[in-house]
Structure 1
Amino acid sequence: MNKMKYYFASLLFLLVAVGFAQETQTKERESGHTNQNKFKQLYEEFATPNSYRSASGAPGPNYYQQQADYKMDITLDDKKAIIYGEETITYYNNSPDDLEYLWVQLDQNVRAKDSKSPLRNGGGVPLAEQPGTFAGKYLGEPFDGGFNIDYVKDASGKALSYTINQTMMRINIPQPLKSKAQMSFSIKWNYNIPDHTVNRARSGFEYFAKDDNRAYVIAQFFPRMAVYSDVEGWQNHQFWGSGEFALTFGDYEVNITVPADHILDATGTLQNRKEVFSKEMMNRYERAKKSYDKPVLIVTQAEAEAAEKIKSEKTKTWKFKAKNVRDYGFATSRKFIWDMQAVKVGGKNIMAVSLYPKEGNPLWGEYSTKAVAHTLKSYSEHSTNYPYPKAISVHAKNQGMEYPMICWNYGRPNEDGTYSDRVKYGMISVIIHEVGHNFFPMIVNSDERQWGWMDEGLDTFLQYMAEQEFGEKFPEAIAPNKAYPSRRGAPAKIVPYMSGDQSTIAPIMSNPENVYQLGPNAYGKPATALNILRETVMGRELFDHAFKTYSERWKFKHPTPEDFFRTMEDASAVDLDWYWRGWFYTTDYVDIGVKGIKKYYVSDKPSKKMQEYMAARNLTEADLPPLVYLADEDSEDFDANLKGKAPTENSKTLKEFMMDNLTAEERAAVKEPKYFYEIAFNKPGGIPMPLIVEYTYADGTTKNITYPPEIWRKNDQEVKLVISSISELKSVVVDPKLETADIDTSNNAWPKKEEKSDFDKFKRKVKG
């Protein structure tokens, strides 16, 4: 049997080679070109490996990163909605360079009265705008929310000069900060807290008119060190609003003073719990630390409603410490209900926590902490174990924003407590997504200012898996017999974007400020690309090992896109340069179809094309070894007597070969195919992908074959395959399960299905 397989393979190779020679012989000579093969390596796009970042994608032997430790005293004035702060930053220069000055981020300056951020976009009159956006643009004076810097001083109390350029402040130190040295300096500041329901501010307050209270979600509230690295030097790109944050790891000691009746939680471990908790709250907290199946209320709704009615004139200071975090956030209000439960991750107890006003119930009490706990388990399984002591979900209108150990999330029921499935799934999804950001970028600390997809895309990919697992774990939360309705991640979901107007599409490898549609570009497309990579290109085992390798290599470090791309290949032995190029570096799309099919039968006689080939080379049959020929059913020299017969009946040469080379037992085991097909697959789309084909035969059987993407390596536009079968071929379908985000499925089948109307074509295109 092995001999027989070898003979058929050799025969097929010869026929393909002959056909290729005939086709290329007739082409006109073309001018030369550079290597434009889609499978060439990304040497031109990637930086040269060095001692800081290795070719394998791992940190190099000389990899370094800076550290910034913060000690802060923060006071929130609830009556005036102002934050006052003093901080001491100790900055460690672990780089090999002496630093002439230091750069500090002042992100609140994006809301300064003279901010250039609102002036950076054109576009004319939109079709519609949210009321808050419209009011912020046209009604009243711009909100003055920038930092007011009182002083910058060195460790001895001497003033340091500084220069503010929009959202960046350069501190002009008297002498360069030497390599491996450290220095401390202090900043005092204040700013007006914005209403975050206007223009979707990432941080601020929501005002509740019915009870005259505010709920605060506070971040970007302090001057923060910019990143200095081997890749960028100082990452001091301005904060314009879309590109988020590049931040340095450090340790925090933060004291936050708020009205005495406020409930507050924040990044880090609470140091004075017995001072700020009542005895009953302490008892409930101890129960919560042992409750793994459901949350325990630390502050009940009745208690929160009672607190809303009386505003304390006293204050209370909450003290926190956080180790090895890249940022800081807190939430505070007298309106907050507070619940917690324990989660076991990597042998450690983690607290899953929710803060929400009564306006969030009953939805939040039912699902928020449940979603937090599930996210910690799911993400830890797929990336790296969650290292921090807690994860907090805070209810905030129209919000979705993340910080270490704490995040703000939307999802509000109607006033009567009812809510739609859309609101429910939206809330669960945003909690999974924002809690998931604890892993990317809070642990695996990518540069969000430059590469938005490295946190948003990776997080959305893991979110998709966590959502599907949530639906399996909590079927009572999902419609009967339905999967979780993920908004992003499934291949078909990205088709409308990838098939859209190319003038409004940018490559994933673009700065978030420069893309047209940030959601599909930084969230949806990279998440879909990774999902397809896992399910269709690499397989789960190889992908999962490589992804966890990346997560472990770069936790608490600063990876670049190349570090991710290289690690995924290094840990899997799968060449993926073609995939990164197509999905991440271009706006190409996937479109693979069936171009045509020809039926052949085995013959003893050379076809007319074969005869022409021989004549062109002055060859006769006597000059060639014994050959088996395939006759095209639609050609003029086809003999109808060849139909329906076994190959050995139509070819004396083949029969003699089998008699001379196979034993009687081997000949008895041979199943002779009666049908041979040449199938031409074309690729109108620019991205090469695995060719996934389902063949259906007259006897009712089907065969599914996935040809590797390398099948396109020598012809990026069309490939021809020869298949043989006992039964007649009835249909061929490319990508039958819609695994590749193919933007046009009208060419995916043979025989081609007729579309009845223009409306059918429209539905097909939208569905993908």
Structure 2
Amino acid sequence: MLKHLLLAAGLVGMAAAPLRAQTTNSGTDKFAQLGTTLPTPNSYRTASGAPGSDYWQQRADYNIRVKLDDEKQAITGSEDITYTNLSPDVLTYLWVQLDQNILDKNSITTATKVNSLQEKMTFQALDFLMNSDFDGGFKIEKVSMKGGKALPYVVNHTMMRIDLPTPLRPKQAVTFSIAWHYNINDQLKINQRSGYEFFPDDKNYLYEIAQFYPRMAVYSDNQGWQHKQFLGTGEFTLPFGDYRVSITAPADHIVGATGTLQNPDQVLTATQRKRLAQADGANKPVLIVTQQEAEQAEKSRAKGTKTWTYAAKNVRDFAWASSRKFIWDAMGIKQSGVPVLCMSYYPKEGNPLWGKYSTEVVAHTIKTYSKFTIPYAYPVAISVHGPVGGMEYPMLCFNGGRPEKDGTYSADRKYGMISVIIHEVGHNFFPMIINSDERQWSWMDEGLNTFVQYLTEQEWERGYPSQRGEPKNIVDYMKTDKSLQTPIMTNSESVLQFGPNAYSKPATGLNILRETILGRQLFDHAFKTYAQRWAYKHPEPADFFRTMEDASGTDLDWFWRGWFYTTDRSDLSIEGMKWYSVDSKNPEIENARKREMLNAEPKTLSQQRNLQDIQKTLVDVKPDLKDFYNTYDPTATTDADKARYQQYVSKLTPTQQQRLKAGLNFYEMNLRNVGGLVMPVVVQMTYADGKQEVVNIPAEIWRKNNERVTKVFITEQPVVSFVLDPYLETADTDLSNNAYPQRPAPSRFELFERQQQPQPNPMQQQSAVQKQEQKSGSSVGGGTN
């Protein structure tokens, strides 16, 4: 029905619109290239967004030994780190992360924590406000070279510099050792990314342990050492390497960890090993440790310890969990021909939710993420249930979501648990494999991961109630005052409204790119290309932006600039509309139209009253006053009119004659960019016969004028209404200006009768006390000896 989107030449009665100078809401051209904003391409990182021919990254291999003290809730450990310098630089010192020092009594996080007082405060709020007596920081016992020679080191809050005895030259490696211990925090009191949960009913502990060892910081081509302090929000940036970790725990504990178990014969029973073998390739999870067995273990207190040894290749981190309360199930799948053992560890308090869903969700996540990014190549993927709401590590993650004590749960609890498992397992891809800098850019792991989480949720169940990803869900955040927002491209520790900014907004932006701007085919290819290029490497924002443009063949600088570098909002408005048709020059058609318009023209109030009050005019009384014009019909068609029309038509080309006869409708729409964020213009037209058509106009319509544009639509049928963003795909923050003719946005209000419990006044309160005292006195005095 829509004949043309662009008006190429002037029409009869319409002049071509003059060009207007570029104007913007911010004073900056919203279509200006990001060339001067992004880092200059070089041989390490190319202009296409791919790693360059000289790209390099460092390597850190670990041999770690730790012991869990279940009586004192403490960890003692030692490690050997082999650090390989693959950079072109000579290093005279190394930087190591001491993330547990965020729980040091004198931590910079505590010192810089902002807070305020309320007239009424809970004891818990006061406890949080006051400095805790808990001392959870690393206690470094020794730093030495392999062989025992002590190394000088300096601790700077959550970072430690180790001075090397001789410079570490390119392609050289150094091995050194660190010994340490620290106290484990109670997650319910000091909420961090790892810790323990105590179960008073059976007096057992469940440990989820991470950031438990001093870890090498990243040294990269684009910024040297990444040694920003860990203040609590910006997470972890780590080099890849191989790990061998030996974990000594009480003999009746079950220990799960990153990597594959190296000594199953020493720590598992014959029955557990048999069940584990059955789980490989099973259609549903197989219980390795049943709930009955876990409940029996809760009652025991075995003497002695067991040491579980795990190994993992080419990972950036390591985490583990330990408890005698663990139920353990597993199910093996194959991803691109590679076997992956999906597993869950959870206490009985997690059932029935965890036994029914957790491992199935793990398997579904691995399959779906692999489809949209790269095939998962690690041997295991694990979900652990405990006190941590949600936290990710290679091959293993900690997840919340617990039913009520009677085993019931709400829909919100069910879907919340499924979503958090998808999200945390999905972090295996972002940033555990596609290894972005979380300390600097949280959105590169949280935002990209949340986007694929949304895709995975929708493939779990049709109509899945996803909280993030749909453009309509970000509108409330986008509408908040700009003073309460920061651009996505803000350092992790300085972001305001962290959840919407680092998770929801980038995920929504990617969804808009996929559905509205690029289309699924172009987007999916570009997104997969980014994952393939930067798997097991250290990408930066420019690498993502450039790859998405390079692989899609689309200039997206305007989108990155608006969505990632500003707090502009999407709000397009229809400011006006004009309806035109072509003068056919055919007197029969045009005169009939004039007659119809004259007949439809409403009579004024005076004319209506004159018809009643003036019975006869003078001309009615004296007909001889009438002349030619009293009977002349200006809408009548004469032979002379027809002859002139035929003469006019004979001089036109066949195409021009067809244009006169087509009877097309021309609509001139005036659009305004109220919110400042340039976006595609999605227009839904409803025709007179009820049929609808949607037109998606690329955002480049705003390139000559960022604030106001005029667009002409040409249709065969008359249009009865125009609506912008009919399917809520651009996160438009004000729908009241999206329709022509204007229509009120639907809303609802609730009626209720105010009911207040009457509060007793002081006199009533005193009277009640006196009555109670009199009653008590009468009771005592009336007794017998």
Q: Normalized against structure 2, the TM-score is what?
A: 0.85
Aligned partner of 1:390 in structure 2 is 380
1:449-489 CA-partner distances (Å, limit 9, x unpaired): 000000000000000010010014xxxxxxxxxx1101111
Aligned partner of 1:146 in structure 2 is 137
Q: 2:452 aligned with 1:465, yes or no?
A: no
Aligned partner of 1:324 in structure 2 is 314
Q: Which amino acid is 1:9 matched to?
A: A
Q: Give the alignment of 1:96-245 within 5 angstroms.
A: 96-125=88-117, 134-138=126-130, 141-245=132-236
Q: Give the alignment of 1:703-722 within 5 angstroms.
A: 703-722=693-712
1:285-313 CA-partner distances (Å, limit 9, x unpaired): 1110120x210000000000000001112
Aligned partner of 2:714 in structure 1 is 724
2:504 paired residue among 516, 519, 524: 524
Per the TM alignment, residue 656 of structure 1 is displaced from its structure 2 partner at its CA by 3.9
Cα pair distance change 1:757/1:580, threshold 3 Å: closer
**Conservation of the 8 A alpha-carbon contact between 1:549 and 1:571:** yes
Q: Give the alignment of 1:604-753 within 5 angstroms.
A: 656=649, 659-662=652-655, 672-753=662-743
Q: 2:424 aligned with 1:412, yes or no?
A: no
**Conservation of the 8 A alpha-carbon contact between 1:356 and 1:394:** yes
Gaps of 5+ in 2: 586-593, 602-632, 636-640, 751-785
Name the CA distance, whole Å, in 1 between partners of 2:164 and 2:721.
Answer: 74
1:20-77 CA-partner distances (Å, limit 9, x unpaired): 16x88xxxxx999998321111012101000100000000000000000000111111
State percent identity of aligned pairs: 53
Secondary structure in 1 matching 2:512: helix
Aligned partner of 1:475 in structure 2 is none
**Conservation of the 8 A alpha-carbon contact between 1:397 and 1:411:** no
Per the TM alignment, residue 124 of structure 1 is displaced from its structure 2 partner at its CA by 2.0
**Conservation of the 8 A alpha-carbon contact between 2:258 and 2:312:** yes
1:181-212 CA-partner distances (Å, limit 9, x unpaired): 11000000000010122242101100001111
Name the CA distance, whole Å, in 1 between partners of 2:6 and 2:469.
Answer: 45
Cα pair distance change 1:56/1:152, threshold 3 Å: same
Secondary structure in 1 matching 2:292: helix
Cα pair distance change 1:35/1:527, threshold 3 Å: same
Q: 2:268 aligned with 1:277, yes or no?
A: yes
Aligned partner of 2:477 in structure 1 is 497
Name the CA distance, whole Å, in 1 between partners of 2:142 and 2:485.
Answer: 45
Cα pair distance change 1:96/1:202, threshold 3 Å: same
1:429 paired residue among 402, 419, 423: 419
**Conservation of the 8 A alpha-carbon contact between 2:23 and 2:705:** no
Q: 2:63 aligned with 1:68, yes or no?
A: no
**Conservation of the 8 A alpha-carbon contact between 2:475 and 2:731:** yes
Name the CA distance, whole Å, in 2 between partners of 1:507 and 1:561.
Answer: 14
Per the TM alignment, residue 531 of structure 1 is displaced from its structure 2 partner at its CA by 0.6
1:515-541 CA-partner distances (Å, limit 9, x unpaired): 111000000000000011101110000
Per the TM alignment, residue 655 of structure 1 is displaced from its structure 2 partner at its CA by 6.9
Name the CA distance, whole Å, in 2 between partners of 1:132 and 1:221.
Answer: 27
Q: Give the alignment of 1:187-586 within 5 angstroms.
A: 187-291=178-282, 293-472=283-462, 483-586=463-566
Name the CA distance, whole Å, in 2 between partners of 1:415 and 1:126.
Answer: 34
Secondary structure in 1 matching 2:92: coil
Q: Which amino acid is 1:262 matched to?
A: H
Cα pair distance change 1:679/1:641, threshold 3 Å: farther
**Conservation of the 8 A alpha-carbon contact between 2:24 and 2:705:** no
Name the CA distance, whole Å, in 2 between partners of 1:7 and 1:251.
Answer: 60
**Conservation of the 8 A alpha-carbon contact between 1:195 and 1:205:** yes
Cα pair distance change 1:398/1:265, threshold 3 Å: closer
Name the CA distance, whole Å, in 2 between partners of 1:654 and 1:311.
Answer: 109
Aligned partner of 2:86 in structure 1 is 94
Name the CA distance, whole Å, in 1 between partners of 2:293 and 2:415.
Answer: 28
RMSD over aligned Cα, in angstroms? 3.1
**Conservation of the 8 A alpha-carbon contact between 1:133 and 1:198:** no
Cα pair distance change 1:273/1:757, threshold 3 Å: closer
2:37 paired residue among 42, 45, 49: 45
Q: Which has the higher contact order (CA 8 A, sep 6+)?
A: 2
State the aligned residue count: 701
Per the TM alignment, residue 652 of structure 1 is displaced from its structure 2 partner at its CA by 6.4
Name the CA distance, whole Å, in 2 between partners of 1:227 and 1:87.
Answer: 18
Per the TM alignment, residue 557 of structure 1 is displaced from its structure 2 partner at its CA by 0.1
Name the CA distance, whole Å, in 2 between partners of 1:677 and 1:280.
Answer: 76
**Conservation of the 8 A alpha-carbon contact between 1:398 and 1:411:** no
Cα pair distance change 1:597/1:117, threshold 3 Å: same
**Conservation of the 8 A alpha-carbon contact between 1:604 and 1:652:** no
Name the CA distance, whole Å, in 2 between partners of 1:239 and 1:70.
Answer: 22
Name the CA distance, whole Å, in 2 between partners of 1:197 and 1:226.
Answer: 29
- Which range moves more in the overlay, 390-399 or 493-502? 390-399
Q: 2:18 aligned with 1:20, yes or no?
A: yes
